[in-house]
Structure 1
Amino acid sequence: MNRPTVPTDIAEFERELVESVSIISRVIPGRPMVSIALCAESGIRTAACSHVRAGRLDELQSATGDGPVLDAISTGRPVTATDLAADSRWRRFAADSRGLRSLHSEPLEFEGGPLGALTLYSDDAGEFPDAVRCSLRVSAGHLELLLRTTLGAARTREMVAQLKEALATRAIIDQALGIVMAQRRCTSHQAFEVLRQVSQSRNVKLHQLAASIVEAVSGEPPQRSRFEEPPSHSADQP
């Protein structure tokens, strides 16, 4: 199964999933058990569930490598079972599910590949009405959008952090360049080549070498530049 790289450790995303399954379980008639299972390196893992048992049903399928949730994920199509006792597709799952009678699983996709599945479990036999399945399909689409939005924000934060780190280390390197230029009476380009060659010969990162030079000359570790976040402006401010 080809799977995209999914940041399933995003805390904001998983908090929203917990709230989502709680809402879905409350609004659907009969209050079925709801789970959101995400693709993992091996099988699936439950990211959120309305009932502990729903998570265990996910785990059962992950452990055996067989079940309706895995089918929904692998095929990219919804999977429905109206009476597991009479369903021959997942005999082992049905035997171990302890009274579970019906289910409906909607696949979740992300960046062109399977993300997981949103699943309803019920101890009552019978087909989930069309309106319920349609609502679940819409909810699945909202979850995919939520992940894209959350991931975009996380990537932006990561880029900002990397930029700040790059600017901070660059400031230290510039200090070391000034010291080398003064000591050797050379250009900035020549000073940088000196630092680069020493960095390679000692197998030390350039910014670490620069910091050691600044500390050796000044007697103190170099001060890292501080970057303040710009003030946020509310929509009602001019």
Structure 2
Amino acid sequence: MNRPRVPTDIAEFERALAQSVTIASRAMPDSPMVSIVLCAESGIRTVACSHARAEPLDELQSAIGDGPVLDVIDSGRPVTATDLATDSRWRRFAAESPGILSLHSEPLESEGSLLGVLTLYSDHVGGFTDETRVAVRVTAEHIGVLYRTALDAARMREIAAQLREALTTRAIIDQALGIVMAQRRCTSHQAFEVLRHVSQDKNVKLHQVAATIVETVSGEPPQQSRFEEPPASHPR
């Protein structure tokens, strides 16, 4: 299964995950410890947990290279253990995490790609109720939606930033074009070709060439366009 590189700079997404695990833990009748790990370039990273004990359990699996979370990442399928003391799959993990007797790890997916793993840890033998398993699946699907929403928002912010930069540099280039047209008595197309040739010859970006021309002629840095963010809309 594909593993996308989860954007680590989406603070809203990680805050939403923290709220999700808290709500999920309270809503589940078994009151398990809940954690979420995301796939990162360097391995796995715990980004949210409902109890302080949960994060070290994730970190232990990463350190020893074995455990249910890593099995889910490898297979893309959920895993369950109803009694770790008698389960032969993760003997070292079980030995180094006393008190954890059952668990369930659910893959977190978005558009066919694996984001990470949602894990429930319990101090009780016997696994989890049917209601808890349903809640886990619903929570996992909800997190996939959160991820897509956060990623779309991040992309829109990036596009907006690129647009603002493009408009700003365009304003500087237009100022330089006016200067070249006046000095050489040429068309805007011919003036643009002058800037382009200088940019290529000096291996300098076009807007930097334009800024240098404007500052040389006027003695001041070029004027930049002012952009004001639109007011936030409020639901009625």
TM-score class, shorter? over 0.9
Structure 1, unmatched stretches of 5+, are none
Cα contact 1:14–1:47 (8 A) shared by 2: yes
Length-normalised TM-score, structure 1: 0.94
Q: Deviations over 1:92-138 (max 9, x none)?
A: 11111122110011100123221101110012111201111011100
Partner residue, 1:145: 145
Q: Deviations over 1:144-173 (max 9, x none)?
A: 001101111111111111101100100000
Whole-Å Cα distance in 2 between the matches of residues 109 and 154 of structure 1? 18
Whole-Å Cα distance in 1 between the matches of residues 194 and 156 of structure 2? 35
Partner residue, 2:15: 15
User: Percentage identity across aligned positions?
Assistant: 74
Cα contact 2:80–2:104 (8 A) shared by 1: yes
Question: 1:229: Cα distance to partner?
Answer: 2.6
Partner residue, 1:204: 204
Partner residue, 2:110: 110
Cα contact 2:176–2:210 (8 A) shared by 1: yes
Whole-Å Cα distance in 2 between the matches of residues 49 and 75 of structure 1? 23
The secondary structure found in structure 2 opposite 1:121 is strand
Cα contact 1:4–1:111 (8 A) shared by 2: no
Between 1 and 2, higher relative CO (CA 8 Å, sep ≥ 6) is seen in 2
The secondary structure found in structure 2 opposite 1:85 is coil
Q: Deviations over 1:5-28 (max 9, x none)?
A: 321331000001111111112222
Cα contact 1:69–1:105 (8 A) shared by 2: yes
Q: Deviations over 1:64-108 (max 9, x none)?
A: 221101112222221100111100001111111122110011100
Whole-Å Cα distance in 2 between the matches of residues 40 and 230 of structure 1? 35
Structure 2, unmatched stretches of 5+, are none
Question: 1:45: Cα distance to partner?
Answer: 0.6
Question: 1:234: Cα distance to partner?
Answer: 4.2
Partner residue, 1:52: 52
CA RMSD of aligned residues (A): 1.4
